[in-house]
Structure 1
Amino acid sequence: MSKLRMGMIGVGGIAQSRHIPTFIKLSDTVSLEAVSDINASTAETVAKEFDIPRVFSDYRDMFEHVDAVTICTPNKFHSEITIAALQAGVHVFCEKPMAMTPEECQAMIDASKKSGKVLAIAYHYRFMKDSRAAKRFIDANEIGEPIVARARAIRRRKVPGWGVFTNKELQGGGSLIDYGCHFLDLSLWLLGSPKPVEVTGTAYNKLSRIPGEVNQWGDFDRENFEVDDHVTAYIKFDNGASMLFETSWSANVKGDEESLSISGETGGIDLFPLHINQMKHGMLLNSEADWIPGEEDPSLPQAANFINSCLGLEELIVKPEEAMTVSVIVDAIYKSSETRQSITLN
């Protein structure tokens, strides 16, 4: 079987810590052929460290040397680079969120369909062992029709003090578009990808603007902090289901929390960790898994799914249309917060 030739566009922290090491572990099916970064010295250093043969100052110049690219740039450039790659006949694996706006997402999908090339978005929470097990339970009708989801992606004091995470122009937002989007995607997937019809949300950025406050993830410019650090939302879907959602980089809570709970007609399921809650034989039963098979690192099955999809061996698990729905909800939460009104979606 031929290997997929991979190029990396943007080789900052997420590329160096996650994607490049993951592709190296999957070297039987993929080869790293090229890198490009706006910082030429960083690109050269990364290429040397990971033994990647080609370095390009203009990412467009790598397209003739690769079959696929992984995009790890600031959010502002996701759509532009994705479309350019697809038009050049190159598959795309793009970091989350898909893009800055739903309109940009749609343009990416249109380019993918026209080119016939794969477009995948890096929502890796779907590939966690607990998440995949929960999906199997729900698809097997163990909890009946899902009714209510409760998702919390909470960090107590962890504003990223590196990169451009707090730059609204480059990122489009803060805790919601960077972190909470993972739990929106995971929730939608487990709910069966219902269509959102109404969104009410509020975005805050009070705590991160207070001088002298503790932050566990480095220093940042508090005086000019413009993005959200705490967000709440209520989302209604076309099938009658609803979601209570909360995410934060900074919140006065006891500690960090990642949890997702779904109540169905005949049972419920909780993550993380995985618990099944049911009523059977006149009893209330709670079950948990003693062992769940699969990789501990979700980056490996995520990357393998993209590679195999490009090679025509598998179907994408994170479809671009589903990733776009996440961006539609994110956009609606921000608009609802700005207008202080519920947003109805067509």
Structure 2
Amino acid sequence: MTKFKAAIIGGGHIAEQNHIPALKTLSDRVEIIAICGRDLEKTKLLTAKYGIPHAFDQPDEMYAAAAPDIIINATANNLHYPFTIQALNNNCHVLCEKPPALHADQAREMADLASSKNKVLAYNFQLRQTPEYALLSRLKQEGQLGQIYHIKAHFLRRRGIPGWGNFTNKEIQGGGALMDLGVHVLDLALGLLDYPIPAKVLANTYDYIGKKGGKGLMGTWDPATFEVEDACFAHLSFADNASIMLSAAFALNTKLEKSVNLEVFGTRGGATLHPPALYTDMGDELTDMHFNHLEETDIQLKNTMAFLDACEGKPSNICQAEEGAILQGIVERIYNSADKGGRE
């Protein structure tokens, strides 16, 4: 089998800590041939460190000289759309960091272009690859949950506003806790419902703690430059009467420093992501089943494997273009509802 030739756009922390190790581990299937970054000298140091042949600071030059098959888009949120469009127009498959884009129409254009080019466009929602989520998916497939009618999904930090990077810059990030954290658990919840489009979306966002400034688990942030929401709460209703309650927060006065969870409620049983457990009844007796020995896994590696499977035309559970477009449409509706004070 011919190896894919992969290039990474964006030479920052995510590329070095997540994507390069995963691609290197899968060297029998893919070869990293180039990195394209804003600072050419830093990019050259990165390519030299990992034995990658080419460094560029101009994507056009990279496509002409290196001719990659795959692009890993590890740029800031506001660059997901332009660099993904460029990659697809250069006939590359694309694995893009989350969220898909800043706006729903951009994500839709990206999905339509990928379809017209017959290329895979996928998004790096790694939590799909956790053993806990695999368990929930299996319980659903086995019918042990019955019809799922409500999911509570949350990704919360008590004081976790990033004091570095662009996380509080709305122009670059597009939003705050929802864009950075909430999209992960929203993707998981939608996946358990087979990714429907909501009939109604109602939401509220807040910035009380962010606007006060302070120091938390991820450094000190400046209230004068805090432009995004520190908390978001949304209710999604679907045509079949199913619903999702979504909560995302950089900073919230809650008990735990960090909490990521799904609570799933079905007609035959309920389940939680953490702890991984099934709650049901047998013979009119309440029954709890706990799954305490799930095998640990490298979720970035598994997500990259799933991406390569999709590129090879194999079955894959990775978040692909159409689901990304649906998710971005929901995110936009959440923000629009919040702007209207919780109305749609």
TM class by shorter chain equals over 0.9
Contact 1:198 1:342 in 2 (8 A): no
Aligned residue-pair number: 341
Q: What is the alpha-carbon distance in structure 2 between the residues aligned to residue 207 and residue 339 of structure 1?
A: 21
Candidates 182, 200, 206, aligned match of 2:202: 200
User: Is 1:122 equivalent to 2:134 in the alignment?
Assistant: no
Aligned to 2:239: 238
Aligned to 1:210: 212
The 5 Å alignment of 1:111-190 reads 111-190=113-192
Aligned to 2:224: 223
Q: What is the alpha-carbon distance in structure 2 between the residues aligned to residue 44 and residue 69 of structure 1?
A: 18
Do the aligned partners of residues 338 and 72 (structure 1) sit closer, same or farther apart at CA in structure 2, a change above 3 Å counting? Answer: same
Aligned to 1:259: 261
Contact 1:60 1:85 in 2 (8 A): no
The 5 Å alignment of 1:48-87 reads 48-64=48-64, 65=66, 66-87=68-89
Q: What is the alpha-carbon distance in structure 1 between the residues aligned to residue 86 and residue 210 of structure 2?
A: 37
- Find the residue that maps to 2:263 and give its secondary structure: strand
Q: What is the alpha-carbon distance in structure 2 between the residues aligned to residue 41 and residue 239 of structure 1?
A: 55
- Find the residue that maps to 1:250 and give its secondary structure: coil
Supply the AA of the counterpart residue of 2:11. Answer: V
- Find the residue that maps to 2:309 and give its secondary structure: helix
Contact 1:4 1:311 in 2 (8 A): no
User: Is 1:335 equivalent to 2:331 in the alignment?
Assistant: no
1:314, distance to aligned residue in structure 2 (A): 3.4
Q: What is the alpha-carbon distance in structure 2 between the residues aligned to residue 153 and residue 6 of structure 1?
A: 32
Contact 1:143 1:263 in 2 (8 A): yes
Q: What is the alpha-carbon distance in structure 2 between the residues aligned to residue 132 and residue 191 of structure 1?
A: 14
Q: What is the alpha-carbon distance in structure 2 between the residues aligned to residue 181 and residue 313 of structure 1?
A: 26
Supply the AA of the counterpart residue of 1:206. Answer: Y
Q: What is the alpha-carbon distance in structure 1 between the residues aligned to residue 54 and residue 8 of structure 2?
A: 10
Supply the AA of the counterpart residue of 2:10. Answer: G
Contact 1:156 1:254 in 2 (8 A): yes
Q: What is the alpha-carbon distance in structure 1 between the residues aligned to residue 206 and residue 11 of structure 2?
A: 31
Q: What is the alpha-carbon distance in structure 2 between the residues aligned to residue 13 and residue 115 of structure 1?
A: 30
Instruction: Structure 2: state its 5+ residue gaps.
Output: none
Contact 1:120 1:316 in 2 (8 A): no
Q: What is the alpha-carbon distance in structure 1 between the residues aligned to residue 215 and residue 163 of structure 2?
A: 12
1:316, distance to aligned residue in structure 2 (A): 5.1
TM-score (norm 1): 0.95
1:41, distance to aligned residue in structure 2 (A): 2.7
Q: What is the alpha-carbon distance in structure 2 between the residues aligned to residue 183 and residue 31 of structure 1?
A: 31
More deviation in 89-98 or 189-198? 189-198
Contact 1:194 1:239 in 2 (8 A): no
| Identity across matched positions, percent | 31
Contact 2:159 2:217 in 1 (8 A): yes
Contact 1:109 1:320 in 2 (8 A): yes
Contact 2:120 2:321 in 1 (8 A): no
Contact 2:96 2:122 in 1 (8 A): yes
Aligned to 2:12: 12
Q: Deviations over 1:165-205 (max 9, x none)?
A: 11110110011001110000001001222221111111111
1:164, distance to aligned residue in structure 2 (A): 1.4
Q: What is the alpha-carbon distance in structure 2 between the residues aligned to residue 194 and residue 26 of structure 1?
A: 33
Q: What is the alpha-carbon distance in structure 1 between the residues aligned to residue 103 and residue 330 of structure 2?
A: 10
